[in-house]
Structure 1
């Protein structure tokens, strides 16, 4: 019996801080809007100041509050100007608080199906100790996050890459990628990277693994009335090979998911998705680990 997968992008959100990185998201969101006409939202988050900031300021609490309200109004006006200038139609909102939390909350409240966010370049120390709003959003969001890198690219999603292995999280990525490719009328490529490194693995065992992967992909796709035409097998360090395949195959977007790692393991080791996110010049759609975005 075939499974029903009802995933559709119906509402999208542009999370902006008005930086060049966040502005680069607009061409991608416009492409999606032109392709499938989802309802679009835009959100700017003002920082919420601690009480000590008010106490240390050289002007009154009321003056600070008036300044924040003035900034809020200016931000709404700026969003409206951007929409007009870029030929976009979106619901504009401004909130106050921690950006990653407010973006995630807004997305849940408005049933957002995809969040567009820009990626800033970070030093290695910042990557480990601080991260960024987008990095925190990727870890905490219940909706997929479309991360646009700093490098400028033509905004079009014609070729999608889904890296897979045999775990269930990976198969959820594949389901999402299939549903996305179908809705956007894009071509889907699937890749599997075997982590053999320098170990000598008998050719027969490697071939058996490839056959097993191919059968699993075919079964998942068949449940969605879909046929994957292009499966690419590689051997090596997964993140490096995924980026390499994406570049070689002229991929427009990579679809991956965050893991359930917690605490010290996540702090020290990160994940394949994180490594790809920090190194690739190709947009990455990052799925949450909780299954909310699965095409179920």
Structure 2
């Protein structure tokens, strides 16, 4: 069945349900979990001197949040006795980062929350989960 399950995380409550589902499935099938948290790149602009946050401060804060999200998944896996590999990834496109990571790590299933949204971008572009569903050649399990 499934041997390499990817569960992207943004730290939201609904994502925690996806993590729990992925961990349970991994335990049943003997699979290992891969997890990523996607960081936003620094929003450079022509008036960068007027940015309220310095680039390094912004990048450090993004890394702290993403690392915390990955650590939560790793802890859930460790508690269940499931092997977990976690990374943070920087990308302007969450759905592309998820699909690319799944392919690079030979994942055979992606488990995602149904409504993990990212700020204003979610209102403008729609659900990242929907984009993964639309573009992935790897099976996707959506958790509500």
Q: What TM-score results when the alignment is normalised by the length of structure 2?
A: 0.74
User: What is the number of equivalent residue pairs in this alignment?
Assistant: 128
Name the SS for the 1:213 alignment partner. helix
Q: What TM-score results when the alignment is normalised by the length of structure 1?
A: 0.39
Partner of 1:287: 143
Partner of 2:108: 252
Do the aligned partners of residues 247 and 214 (structure 1) sit closer, same or farther apart at CA in structure 2, a change above 3 Å counting? Answer: closer
Within the alignment, does 1:208 sit opposite 2:56 as a pair? no
Taking the aligned partners of 1:190 and 1:252, their CA distance within structure 2 comes to 13
**Residues 164-207 of structure 1, C-alpha deviation per residue, up to 9 Å, x if partnerless?**
01111111111110000110111111111112354534353344
Structure 1 runs not aligned, ≥5 long: 1-155, 289-296
Partner of 1:161: 6
Report the structure number with the largest CA radius of gyration: 1
**Residues 224-275 of structure 1, C-alpha deviation per residue, up to 9 Å, x if partnerless?**
43355300210111101001101111111100121299xxxx9964301100
Name the SS for the 1:259 alignment partner. coil
Name the SS for the 2:76 alignment partner. helix
**Residues 80-119 of structure 1, C-alpha deviation per residue, up to 9 Å, x if partnerless?**
xxxxxxxxxxxxxxxxxxxxxxxxxxxxxxxxxxxxxxxx
The equivalences for 1:94-109 within 5 A come to none
- 1:254 touches 1:284 (CA, 8 Å); kept in 2? yes
Within the alignment, does 1:234 sit opposite 2:95 as a pair? no
Do the aligned partners of residues 157 and 257 (structure 1) sit closer, same or farther apart at CA in structure 2, a change above 3 Å counting? Answer: same
- 2:23 touches 2:76 (CA, 8 Å); kept in 1? no
Q: Using CA pairs under 8 Å that are at least 6 residues apart, name the structure with larger relative contact order, 1 or 2.
A: 2
Q: CA deviation at 1:221?
A: 3.4
Cα RMSD of the aligned pairs, angstroms, is 2.6
Taking the aligned partners of 2:116 and 2:90, their CA distance within structure 1 comes to 25
Do the aligned partners of residues 194 and 207 (structure 1) sit closer, same or farther apart at CA in structure 2, a change above 3 Å counting? Answer: closer
Partner of 1:274: 130
Structure 2 runs not aligned, ≥5 long: 45-54
